[in-house]
């Protein structure tokens, strides 16, 4: 939830700065966009540091959960492959003893 709040806050800051520079001051579209990005980044970095850190921690927790799930799936796949190889070896042993 913090990630969404932080993202929306930065987007709102960007749009406010962009709109002010582009329509009120009347500068070029690209200049307004670049200044909007830089100013929104700086303001969010300086004044919303705790929200940014909470968003980073939230994303790290999500990624750790996905990594753990991927590792569990890989282990299950390896176990299934080992079982299939053992069964194939047993069948080969049975067919050669006949």
71 vs 54: CA distance, rounded Å? 26
Q: Give the pLDDT confidence of 8-48 residue by residue, as tens digits.
A: 999 999 999 999 999 999 899 999 999 999 999 999 889 98
Q: Can you tell me which residue has the tokens 């850190």?
A: 53
Position 98 pLDDT exceeds 80 = no
pTM: 0.59
DSSP secondary structure code for residue 33 in this structure: H
């Amino acid at each position: 939830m913090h990630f969404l709040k932080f993202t929306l806050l930065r987007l709102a800051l960007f749009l406010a700065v962009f709109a002010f520079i582009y329509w009120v001051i009347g500068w070029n579209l690209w200049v307004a966009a670049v200044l909007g990005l830089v100013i929104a980044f700086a303001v969010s970095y300086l004044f919303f540091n705790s929200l940014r850190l909470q968003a980073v921690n939230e994303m790290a927790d999500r990624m750790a959960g996905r990594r753990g799930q991927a590792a569990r799936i890989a282990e299950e796949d390896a176990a299934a492959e080992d079982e299939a190889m053992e069964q194939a070896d047993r069948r080969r042993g049975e067919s050669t003893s006949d």
